[in-house]
């Protein structure tokens, strides 16, 4: 979900805002201290002090400023009296959607900071080198994850890091733990996701890092599965096609 700032959706917004440092942030240049203070006071009063502004930036429109809260953007006038929520800023001459471009920017992450030891590693093609990397958050009961996994497994020269992210139902935890603890983790997960064969119950003590993975997902504002991050840092939502995945590896 792109913007969650309407009053009816404030509860949903809180899922990721406490960890807004995970996202790319706007540069504060071009905003005077007085305007910044007015915007901060007005917005935080409007939101009841529940959420903090991540960044305030200028826009090509005179007197209109961009406000970032976590991964969400909206626009406000310099007197902080009026806001435009869920609006799109379009450059008419070029037709470029400036809002979409900024949302892509603020949703990027630093791929190198991901704790990849919490993920299952799969190397595809190119003699086991897998030079291109992508991290994906999957729930075992997510039908779109199953479709997307088939797409990912069709990649070449790629390394896939899969985070078992059990958020859809209680059984998700059981399946994720059993797959993680299986003797052949890769086979157990793919059998379930691609063929519907449930992994056998774990018979030995095993440390499935569920808590750390869920916390990571919350910090990255992963609210739905599949959510992926290419090595370029770009965020991918949903079961995209192979062509879109291939394009995401480019900076």
| 111-248 placed in CATH 3.40.30.10 | yes
Mean pLDDT within 73-89: 91
Cβ-based neighbour number of residue 7 at 10 Å? 10
Mean pLDDT within 118-128: 86
Domain with CATH 3.10.450.70 in the chain: 7-106
Which CATH superfamily groups domain 7-106? Disulphide bond isomerase, DsbC/G, N-terminal (3.10.450.70)
Per-residue pLDDT at 18 exceeds 60: no
Q: pLDDT confidence of 200, banded at 50, 70, 90? A: very high
The model's pTM is: 0.76
Per-residue pLDDT at 17 exceeds 50: no
Of 84 and 27, which is predicted with more confidence? 84
Domain with CATH 3.40.30.10 in the chain: 111-248
* Cis bond before residue 226 (omega within 30° of 0): yes
User: Taking all residues of the chain, what is their mean pLDDT, rounded to a whole number?
Assistant: 86
Per-residue pLDDT at 227 exceeds 50: yes
Give residue 29's pLDDT.
55
Mean pLDDT within 220-244: 93
Q: pLDDT confidence of 10, banded at 50, 70, 90? A: very low
Mean pLDDT within 159-172: 96
| 89 vs 221: CA distance, rounded Å | 24
Per-residue pLDDT at 5 exceeds 70: no
The closest alpha carbon to 54, from 76, 23, 98, 78, belongs to 23
| 3 vs 148: CA distance, rounded Å | 25
């Amino acid at each position: 979900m792109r913007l969650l700032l309407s009053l009816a959706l404030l509860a949903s917004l809180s899922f990721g805002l406490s960890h807004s440092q995970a996202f790319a942030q706007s540069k504060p240049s071009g905003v005077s201290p007085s305007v910044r203070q007015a915007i901060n006071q007005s917005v935080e009063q409007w939101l009841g002090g529940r959420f903090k502004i991540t960044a305030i930036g200028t826009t090509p429109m005179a007197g209109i400023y961009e406000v970032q809260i976590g991964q969400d953007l909206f626009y406000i006038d310099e007197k902080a009296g009026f806001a435009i929520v869920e609006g799109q800023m379009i450059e008419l001459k070029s037709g470029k959607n400036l809002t979409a471009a900024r949302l892509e920017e603020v949703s990027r992450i630093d791929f190198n900071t991901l704790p990849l030891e919490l993920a299952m590693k799969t190397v595809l093609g190119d003699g086991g080198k897998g030079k291109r990397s992508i991290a994906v958050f999957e729930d075992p009961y997510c039908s779109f994850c199953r479709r997307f996994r088939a797409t990912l497994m069709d990649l070449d020269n790629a390394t896939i890091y899969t985070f078992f992210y059990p958020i859809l139902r209680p059984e998700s935890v059981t399946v994720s733990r059993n797959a993680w603890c299986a003797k052949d983790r890769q086979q157990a997960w793919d059998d379930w996701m691609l063929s519907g064969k449930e992994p056998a119950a774990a018979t030995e003590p095993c440390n499935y890092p569920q808590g750390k993975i869920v916390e990571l997902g919350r910090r990255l504002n992963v609210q739905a599965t599949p959510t992926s991050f290419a090595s370029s840092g770009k965020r991918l939502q949903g079961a995209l096609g192979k062509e879109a995945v291939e394009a995401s590896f480019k900076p």
